[in-house]
C-alpha cells in the first residue's frame, strides 16, 4: 500500500468556556461525527480553544499599562494595556518596529506579540494569552483519551506564527505529548549509500501545518485528527525540543 496520511477536522465543538473539560468535549464531538480515535492517531488542538478552557482569555480592563507599554504603543492601533500584557508574557524583546513587537515568550517561543491576539474570542476588550504550559495541556488530553478510550495518541497544541524571510504565517506546534517532535536521519544512509549528516525534521511542525489546512481560521473547527502517520512514541515529550538552542541560532 502506498503511504498515506490524512487529517480530519472535528466539527460541532461547543463554544468552550473556562473550566470546560476540553478532552471530553473533543472525544464527544469526534464520536458524534463518526470519526474514530485510534491508537497512533495525532490529535491537533488549536491554541485558542486551549487558552479559553484554561482561563487565559482575559479582559484588558483591569490591566495597568506601564510607561514603557504606553511609549511603545504611541501612534499605533493597539491598546497600551494590550501592549502591557505582551511585555508581561515576554522574557526578551527580539525586535520592535512599527508597532510590531517580536519577543521571546517565557516558554521560549519567538513570535509576534508574545502570541497574544484578539481574534476568535468574544468581547472587544478581551485577548487570549498562550497556555501557561502547552505541554501539560497536551498531556492532559492524551491522558484523558487513554483513560476514556483506552488508546495511545500523540497530541499537539498548535498556533499560527509568522517567520523571517518567508511571507505570511504557518501553523506550528507549541505543546506536544506522547511522541518525539523531531525525526532524525543523522547517521542513516540514503539510497545511494551517502551518509546524511545533519538532517533532522521537525515533524511536529509539519503535522501542525497539515492540521491547519482543515482547521483554518474562521470555520469553528479547532480540533483535528491525523491518521496514518507513524510517530516515534516518547513519554517525556517537551516543546523545548522545538526550540533552537541559542548557541546555534544566528538570529537572536
Footprint of a copy of itself on residues 214-233 (CB under 8 A)? 214, 217-221, 228-229
Provide the minimum distance between the beta carbon of 189 and a copy of itself in the complex, in angstroms, as a whole number: 7
Residue number with CB closer to a copy of itself (140 or 203): 203
Spatial distance between the Cα atoms of 150 and 154, rounded to a whole number of angstroms: 13
Spatial distance between the Cα atoms of 221 and 53, rounded to a whole number of angstroms: 16
Rg (CA), the chain: 19
Spatial distance between the Cα atoms of 172 and 202, rounded to a whole number of angstroms: 10
113 within 8 A of 130, measured Cβ to Cβ: no
Nearest-5° angle of CA 228, CA 231, CA 233? 135
* Contact status: 213 vs a copy of itself (CB under 8 A): yes
Query: For cell 519577543, what's the residue?
Result: 103
Residue number with CB closer to a copy of itself (34 or 62): 34
Q: Which of residues 72-101 bind a copy of itself (CB under 8 A)?
A: 95, 97, 100
Provide the minimum distance between the beta carbon of 30 and a copy of itself in the complex, in angstroms, as a whole number: 9
Binding a copy of itself by CB under 8 A: which of 116, 141, 157, 172? 172
Spatial distance between the Cα atoms of 101 and 113, rounded to a whole number of angstroms: 5
Binding a copy of itself by CB under 8 A: which of 87, 121, 132, 234? 121
* Contact status: 190 vs a copy of itself (CB under 8 A): yes
* Contact status: 35 vs a copy of itself (CB under 8 A): yes
In the 8-state DSSP scheme, what is residue 59? E
* Contact status: 17 vs a copy of itself (CB under 8 A): no
Spatial distance between the Cα atoms of 15 and 207, rounded to a whole number of angstroms: 25
Q: Do the bridges between strand 154-162 and strand 42-46 make them parallel or antiparallel, or are there none, so unpaired?
A: parallel
Q: How far apart are the first and last CA of the chain?
A: 45
Residue number with CB closer to a copy of itself (55 or 220): 220
Q: Which of residues 38-77 bind a copy of itself (CB under 8 A)?
A: none
* Contact status: 149 vs a copy of itself (CB under 8 A): no
Binding a copy of itself by CB under 8 A: which of 61, 67, 166, 235? 166
Spatial distance between the Cα atoms of 228 and 135, rounded to a whole number of angstroms: 23
Residue number with CB closer to a copy of itself (121 or 234): 121
Residue number with CB closer to a copy of itself (8 or 69): 8
Binding a copy of itself by CB under 8 A: which of 3, 67, 150, 187? 3
Cβ–Cβ contacts within 10 Å for residue 206, how many?
18
Query: For cell 526550540, what's the residue?
Result: 243
Amino acid at each position: 500500500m502506498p503511504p498515506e496520511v490524512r487529517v480530519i477536522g472535528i466539527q460541532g465543538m461547543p463554544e468552550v468556556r473556562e473550566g470546560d473539560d476540553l478532552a471530553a468535549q473533543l472525544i464527544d464531538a469526534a464520536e458524534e461525527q463518526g470519526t474514530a480515535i485510534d491508537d497512533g492517531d495525532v490529535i491537533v488542538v488549536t491554541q485558542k480553544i486551549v487558552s479559553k478552557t484554561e482561563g487565559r482569555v482575559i479582559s484588558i480592563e483591569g490591566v495597568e499599562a506601564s510607561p514603557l507599554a504606553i511609549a511603545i504603543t504611541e501612534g499605533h492601533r493597539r491598546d497600551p494595556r494590550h501592549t502591557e500584557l505582551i511585555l508581561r508574557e515576554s522574557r526578551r524583546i527580539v525586535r520592535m518596529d512599527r508597532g510590531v513587537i517580536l519577543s521571546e515568550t517565557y516558554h521560549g517561543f519567538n513570535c509576534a506579540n508574545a502570541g497574544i491576539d484578539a481574534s476568535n474570542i468574544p468581547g472587544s476588550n478581551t485577548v487570549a494569552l498562550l497556555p501557561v504550559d502547552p505541554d501539560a495541556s497536551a498531556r492532559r488530553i492524551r491522558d484523558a483519551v487513554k483513560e476514556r478510550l483506552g488508546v495511545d495518541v500523540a497530541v499537539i497544541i498548535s498556533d499560527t506564527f509568522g517567520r523571517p524571510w518567508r511571507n505570511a504565517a504557518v501553523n506550528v506546534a507549541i505543546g506536544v505529548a506522547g511522541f518525539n517532535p523531531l525525526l532524525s536521519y543523522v547517521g542513516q544512509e540514503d539510497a545511494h549509500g551517502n551518509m546524511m549528516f545533519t538532517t533532522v525534521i521537525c515533524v511536529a511542525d509539519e503535522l501542525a501545518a497539515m492540521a491547519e489546512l482543515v482547521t483554518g481560521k474562521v470555520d469553528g473547527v479547532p480540533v483535528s485528527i491525523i491518521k496514518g502517520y507513524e510517530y516515534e512514541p516518547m513519554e517525556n515529550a517537551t516543546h523545548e525540543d522545538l526550540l533552537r538552542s541559542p548557541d546555534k541560532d544566528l538570529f537572536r
